[in-house]
Structure 1
């Protein structure tokens, strides 16, 4: 499995928001909720409209069955409300516009590969390498850590890690620290 990194540059994050917003409100909101919630892509895909209507979302994580509570970031609230207006509460927030090939069902969530494709297209546009579905989650952690290093304990818990070294490596800080230390060597 390839190693993916967080998006470290706030200017690129803002650029990607604009990039997605100009092309697709669904993809814009997917990206924003991903970088503001710390959810895995598999959990983002199963969000329903009714969950997005309140200020807080409670989600049972698919992978580890932990209950995750996160706030809808105020910067996307108006766009999200506009996006879900007229949709039924039980609809998937990030619904596919196509009929599923095998099941022939409509109104199903987009597939992980679809999310990867539109995220990766934007990453290429911005010259990002080592990009993947976990990049959004890692970006959330990276930004939270840089906001205040005391948030490390919160991140360890939120990611379900047992050791801070795992968390630091997961959000790309181990490599950042190694690079910085190397540059300071005489």
Structure 2
């Protein structure tokens, strides 16, 4: 497996969002979901619309899924909720539909298709680093760490055995200085 990078620059993230939204709302939601949850692409592709809905009208605050036979929860922030709800309503998706449904079948898109989506968008905005679907997960980790989330918590989310492994995964070297933004916004 090749090493891929996180999107470190917020301007690049916003450019990716604009590009994807212009080309496909499903692809935009895929990217927003990926960079805001840190979930693996294979876990994301299995999501059905009904699993995210609270009462048929609202998106849940926490989504629970199985990870290696163990239940795991992920927080769905406001950006995800808005993007997903608009997408579900716009496409008139039912509870049984996959969230990232293929245009040709009732199945979800493949990992390879998700890779093509992210890779083509990154090329289109001029991103020069190595990119893949794992870049979304790494972007989540990098920006969470930068905003003050403890590396031990990210280590647990990514199921890594050491702190060093997590730092390497999100692309932070031992010599790099990160200005942490701890903003409780009370």
Q: Which runs of 5+ in 2 are unaligned?
A: 54-59, 178-186
Query: 1:134-175 deviations in whole A, cap 9, x for unaligned?
Result: 100011000100001x5211101111111101000000002x
Is the counterpart of residue 67 in structure 1 residue 61 in structure 2? no
> Which has the larger share of helix?
1
Deviation at 1:178, TM superposition (A): 4.2
Confirm or deny: 8 A CA contact 2:19 2:125 kept in the other structure: no
Structure 2: how far apart are the matches of 1:50 and 1:75? 19
Q: Aligned residue for 2:18?
A: 18
Structure 2: how far apart are the matches of 1:84 and 1:169? 36
Confirm or deny: 8 A CA contact 1:52 1:72 kept in the other structure: no
Q: Aligned residue for 1:42?
A: 42
| Worse overlay, 158-167 or 47-56 | 47-56
Q: Tell me how many residue pairs correspond in the alignment.
A: 168
Q: Which runs of 5+ in 1 are unaligned?
A: 99-105, 181-186
Confirm or deny: 8 A CA contact 1:6 1:171 kept in the other structure: yes
Deviation at 1:127, TM superposition (A): 2.6
Which of the numbers 87, 91, 107 marks the counterpart of 2:93?
87
Confirm or deny: 8 A CA contact 1:49 1:87 kept in the other structure: yes
Runs in 1 of length 4+ with deviation above 6 angstroms?
none
Structure 2: how far apart are the matches of 1:19 and 1:145? 26
Q: TM-score, normalised by structure 1?
A: 0.84
User: After superposition, where does 1:132-171 map in structure 2 within 5 Å?
Assistant: 132-148=132-148, 150-171=149-170
Is the counterpart of residue 55 in structure 1 residue 61 in structure 2? yes
Q: Which structure has the larger Rg?
A: 1
Deviation at 1:67, TM superposition (A): 2.4
- TM-aligned CA distance change 1:66 to 1:6, over 3 Å: farther
SS of 1:173's equivalent in the other structure is coil
Structure 1: how far apart are the matches of 2:62 and 2:25? 20
Deviation at 1:23, TM superposition (A): 1.2
